[in-house]
């Protein structure tokens, strides 16, 4: 009897949730799931083949359901590590993965701001799309330049190339730290 009442309660809670849910907020959650699925499938397909799609179906569920937690960070980190394990791939595919992971990242950040019953004005989604588009265009241009760099320096200058990369990473970390902690 108690189990039945608990089931009834759950059913009513689910019914109330369905009644309150808003399409804009659900679209954002769906975006988290879809980008996570595609990103992981692209990253893991060279390593585990068709099973990547199966894992990909499950892995983004938690980021979509609980965007406030660290699940998205875990998914992105796994995708990057699996991609690294797979060996060097085509740059276009790498850019596609980077773009998908970035979209997953920004859509998750947007999902954190709202509950599923939040009424989202179209300007919010339009602004998100505009900003992401600008970033991806700039990243595409930068990716082309980055892809040309090895050709410019040649394979023989691997040490110099590594040192330059290390300097770039350190510089990047310092820049981010400065941006974060500068006095306004």
Residues 33 to 62: which contact another protein by CB under 8 A? none
- Residue closer to another protein by CB (options 29, 105) is 105
Please state the closest distance from residue 123 (CB atom) to another protein, in A: 5
**Shortest distance, position 52 Cβ to another protein, whole Å:** 16
Q: Which of 1, 2, 152, 180 binds another protein (CB under 8 A)?
A: 180
Question: Per-residue string for binding with another protein, 68-97, x by CB under 8 A?
Answer: x-x-xx--xx--xx-xx---xxxx-xxx-x
- What does 43-102 look like in DSSP terms, one character per residue? HHHHHHTTHHHHHHHHTTHHHHH-TTSTHHHHHHHHHHHHHHHT----HHHHHHHHHHHH
Please report, for residues 3, 27, 30, 104, 107, the alpha-carbon distance to residue 114 in angstroms, rounded to integers and kept in the order given: 33, 12, 13, 16, 11
Q: Which residue has the tokens 């399409």?
A: 23
List the x/- string, 140-179, binding to another protein by CB under 8 A.
--xx--xx-xx-------x--xx--xx-xx--xx-xx--x
Query: Contacts with another protein in 95-134 (CB under 8 A)?
Result: 95, 97-99, 101-102, 105-106, 108-110, 112-115, 117-121, 123-124, 127-128, 131-132, 134
Inter-CA distances, 175 with 102, 109, 163, 172, Å: 20, 22, 18, 5
């Amino acid at each position: 009897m108690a189990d039945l009442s608990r089931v009834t309660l759950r059913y009513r809670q689910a019914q109330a949730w369905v009644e309150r849910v808003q399409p804009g907020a659900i679209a954002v959650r769906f975006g988290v799931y879809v980008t996570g699925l595609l990103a992981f499938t692209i990253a893991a397909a060279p390593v585990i083949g068709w099973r990547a799609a199966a894992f990909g179906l499950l892995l983004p569920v938690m980021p979509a359901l609980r965007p406030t937690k660290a699940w998205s960070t875990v998914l992105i980190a796994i995708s990057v590590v699996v991609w690294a394990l797979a060996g060097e791939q085509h740059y276009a595919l790498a850019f596609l993965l980077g773009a998908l992971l970035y979209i997953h990242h920004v859509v998750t950040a947007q999902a954190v701001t709202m509950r599923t019953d939040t009424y989202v004005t179209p300007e919010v989604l339009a602004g998100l799309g505009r900003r992401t588009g600008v970033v991806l265009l700039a990243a595409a241009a930068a990716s082309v330049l980055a892809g040309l760099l090895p050709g410019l320096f040649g394979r023989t200058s691997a040490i110099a190339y590594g040192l330059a990369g290390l300097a770039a990473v350190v510089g990047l970390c310092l820049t981010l730290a400065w941006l974060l902690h500068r006095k306004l």
